[in-house]
Amino acid sequence: MKSTIYKALSFSAFIFLALTSIASGQITSSTSSRENITPAVLRAQDAVNKVLVDSGSYFKEGMSALKENRRSDSGANFDKSVEIFLYSTLNIQKDQKLQTCYSQLIETVYRIEFPSDAQQPKIRELSASCGWRWSDMDFQLADDVAKLVKQPLSKPTANNTVAAAGVSVLPQQTLVGFNAQEFEPSPLDELSRLELTPEEKQIENSPVAQAQYQYIQYAVANKSLGFSFQVHPMIQQYINYYRGRGRGTMEVGLYRSGMFMRMARRIFKEEGIPENVAWLGQVESAWKPTAMSWAAASGLWQFIPGTGAAYGLRRTAHLDERNSFDEATRASARYLKFLANRYGGNWELAMAGYNCGEGNVDRAIRRAGVANFWAAYPYLPRETRNYVPNILATILIANSPAQYGFGHVRPAPPLQYDRIRVPASTNLALIAQASDTSVQYIRYLNPHLRSNSTPPEPYVINVPPGKSDDVVAVFRRVPASKLNNTNLANSVKGESWQTISNRTGVGVAELIAANPGMKEPKGKIFVPVTGNKVNAISYSRPTTPNTAGTGKSAVVVKAQAGDTVSKVAARHGANPTEVAKYNGLLPNSVLGAGREIKIPSM
């Protein structure tokens, strides 16, 4: 699901008494026990009960949808079940019952989405912790869902190097969460099955291939690529492949590289890795942060969970840093540095180790009797034998695209963003409103976040370029305790508190109290949220000076079958990121034939 894991009553001392008194009690109280409680405490109890009951209601709806294989609906209801806590006016952290229920709810939804033999979702235990009064039918539904997600894991095979290294492999259908479209196939899956044709293997009888092969020898001898490797005909054979039936794959990779290569080169240089080695990312993922292989490797750099964790990439119910931009790129550089040091600076062996693990490379070297990739080649897994010459071919093409027939490919503009640290468990809706964009685009800039909320700790996230000061200014103005109980409204010059009240439904006195020191509305206005208004949260992109209302024109075009936003933008010479934002989509959103897309004038 797009998001799997996911906002104070002002009763002063009464709140504390109320929450303390129910910390270990049931959701409902008997009539006799309520007679001696003050109205304020009763209201506090009722508020806690409402959060728990509403959350449980959405959770049951999520289970029902999942049982009927309506995974998108299931994910949406699980989201709301968690968001009930986030958007409430209660301090979850200070009430033991709320905190326990909330924590177990997050963990349970995560285990439902990504089941494993070791940790199955404990739905009955969750119901008990939250005090949900379920019927026998509800418990039967819970048991059915628990059985549904307990799918057998694929068995390791001798030909699968990742599985052979001891990594549990999930069936494909369990890897994609509640919305399969969020993940894209990794090009490594196709690479593992690739067989070069006789024509692609031909070098001697092709003048063009001969000339290009000589260029490889020159480039290696001249050390113009920043590192050395052994010239081998198979490298030219992969160049032949990309100049023929693999042309589309190379064109897409060269185009998408523009989004991330600048960042990758910078980080690789900082870590002491030859910058051109960063082209490994094109073979790993085609520069798609949401790429996932059948063996559960994920992200731009295709880390499996174990290796990712070893290099500092956390995978929790709140985030999966394998899908991050900067963090995963730095982890990749450090892993490659470790491998290069292990093999005495031999980058071919380091790349091989990145693909199949150093254990497999070590065994191949022992069998070959020499630390040389081409000598160890027969003893390496098939995918790895394809992998290394493929990367070397990609590096050569990327450095001289015109020479290989790719001079027409214009790389996409670099994906730009600012990085800021935000408070724990910050709602992305507030960040989106503060940066004049949508929650969807914030998620696009942070594919490693697994919900519409940041982790329960201060955390660095990406926001649109030039918007970091605006977001930080919001955090400085609003108290931390009210971060997730506040919306923002953009005021217009000449507006009064009354006009803002009319369009937000919040009283003038409440608006003035939420914006102390502001005599008249100016800039972004804090709009307090009262109660569990999950459905009242605006997820649409606010009007900004760069879109509507400024006279900026746009051309309306129709998508063709198989189009994505990026393809449409490229066809019309537009920035795919801007086109995506303008239409409220993602650059990789798949479009139906005939769908109208607006191309903003640049």
Alpha helices in 405-456 (DSSP H): 428-434, 439-445
3-state secondary structure of 545: coil
Is 510 an active-site residue?
no
- 207-222 and 233-243 helices cross at what angle (nearest 10)? 120
DSSP state of 531: S
Task: Say which residue the tokens 């439904």 belong to.
Answer: 505
Of the residues 284, 327, 348, 358, only one is catalytic, namely: 284
> What is the spatial distance between Cα 153 and Cα 173, in angstroms, rounded to a whole number?
11
Residue 72 near residue 179, CB atoms below 8 Å? yes
Q: Which residues, other chains included, contact 543 with Cβ-Cβ below 8 Å and sequence gap of 6+?
A: 490, 549
Residue 434 near residue 471, CB atoms below 8 Å? yes
Residue 142 near residue 160, CB atoms below 8 Å? no
Strand 418-422 relative to strand 459-463, pairing: antiparallel
Residue 215 near residue 403, CB atoms below 8 Å? yes
> What is the spatial distance between Cα 295 and Cα 354, in angstroms, rounded to a whole number?
15
> What is the spatial distance between Cα 264 and Cα 227, in angstroms, rounded to a whole number?
17
Q: Which residues, other chains included, contact 73 with Cβ-Cβ below 8 Å and sequence gap of 6+?
A: 62, 65
3-state secondary structure of 575: coil
Q: Report residue 567 as tokens.
A: 């393809």
Instruction: Provide φ and ψ at 367, rounded to 5°.
Output: -70, -35
CA distances from residue 535 to 84, 293, 323, 454, 545 in whole angstroms, order as listed: 10, 35, 29, 19, 27
3-state secondary structure of 487: strand
DSSP state of 524: E
**Catalytic residue positions?**
284
